[in-house]
Amino acid sequence: MDVTIRGRHALVTGGGRGIGRAIAARLTAAGAHVSIIGRDAATLAEALAAGDVWATARADVTDEAATHDAIAELAAKAPFDIVIANAGWAETALFERSDNALFRRMLDVNFMGVVTSFQAALPGMRDRGFGRLIAIASTAGLRGYPAVSAYSAAKHAVVGLVRSLALEYATSGITANAICPGYTDTDLIRNGAEAIARKRGISLEDAKSLFAQDNPMKRLIAPEEVAESVLWLCSPAAASISGQAIAMNGGEF
């Protein structure tokens, strides 16, 4: 399989840690020039020092103007061929306790952050006749879960977006896809597991296993697995793959 992306310029939002960092490192190892955007200056600096990325810019994807400015700054080095919209987070609350502000927060970071990142890079991709738009969504974009209605709605919107973009740009050389992982072994899950372990008086590993219960394989997804799927979608071998929401969940439906 041809996975050559050498010399391509890739943007990863939320690229300083977790899934984003794994994606940045994998694309760098494959020969791409990888730029990342994130909110925390220290994690951006650490990724740069480690050699996992080519360039960094600080921005919160919920700030449209700042995100456009950051992308423009990074694109001045080279236009973007690949955009991985990875930044996001989840807040939990039962629907009756989820006010409009919660829904707006979830939409701003998980959906509008994707919209802003894609829109900023698309004109250059269209002009050059090549582009890969990849959103890191969630299994919550494919099915419902209790107590995360706002997050799930936002991730469903992401899936709808890439399906529409796939049709709009079908003859342009640009593809648009979403990857939908289940619970993934990141610091966010570790933090949640630590809180559960303290509350219930159980081990960290037992607490982490609670997050894997819905996965038929009974394990968390590794960030590196998501990164490998991103690499494939960026490659010439996946040129006809567009408008897809690729589930990484061990067979959960």
What pLDDT digit, counting tens, does each position of 58-111 carry? 999 999 999 999 999 999 999 999 999 999 999 999 999 999 999 999 999 999
Domain assignment of residue 253, yes or no: no
Binned at pLDDT 50, 70 and 90, residue 133 comes out as very high
Same domain membership, residue 127 and residue 139: yes
Determine if the pTM surpasses 0.85: yes
Q: Which positions ≥6 away from 100 have C-beta within 8 Å?
A: none
> Do residues 132 and 54 both lie within one domain?
yes
What is the residue whose two structure tokens read 């890439």?
162
Residue 179 belongs to what domain range? 9-184+223-243
Q: Which of 145, 151, 169, 183 is catalytic?
A: 151
Active site residue 169: no
Residue 109 phi/psi, 5° resolution?
A: -85, -40
Amino acid occupying residue 225: E
* 71 and 126 inside one domain: yes
- Give the containing element (helix H, strand E) for 117: helix 113-128
**List of E strands, 66-200:** 82-85, 131-136, 174-181
Could you tell me if 146 and 207 lie in one domain? no
pLDDT in tens, 117-128: 999 999 999 999
85 and 210 share a domain? no
Number of structural domains found in the chain: 2
Residues 84 and 170 both lie in one domain: yes
